[in-house]
Amino acid sequence: MNSFALLADPVRRRIVEVLADGERPAGAVGEVIRAEFGVGQPAVSNQLRALRDAAVIEASPQGSRRIYRLVPGALDEVTDWIDRYARLWPQRLDALETELARGARTERPDPREDHDG
């Protein structure tokens, strides 16, 4: 599964967001997901497994717990795609701002209104 398809699922996307703040035990990740999405532990485990299988996250045992973390560079495909188009956004927003300002200066009366009174 490619990175875009993987992140299309809101639960997996939220897991990535949680782990972007730093590594977490599986239980802590599960608590966040269960609270926000109302899913059970098996569903959380399935999503963690999908992210592990795609090499987006990795787990290491620490005593009886599993600690999850993002794999560095695992989402480079997404980052590269966003960066490619993000360069266009300031130009587009500047053009929009110019058009909005132009429209505000040249407000035209609505041709449907009768001004003859």
Q: What is the pLDDT of residues 82-103, one digit of tens each?
A: 888 888 777 777 888 888 888 8
Q: Which residues contact 14 (CB under 8 A, 6 or more apart)?
A: 32, 33, 36, 37
How much is the mean pLDDT over the chain? Answer: 89
Q: What is the rounded CA–CA span in Å between residue 44 and residue 12?
A: 9
Q: How much is the pLDDT for 117?
A: 52
Is the pTM of the predicted complex or chain greater than 0.75?
A: no
Query: pLDDT higher for 16 or 95?
Result: 16
Q: Are 54 and 78 in contact (CB under 8 A)?
A: no
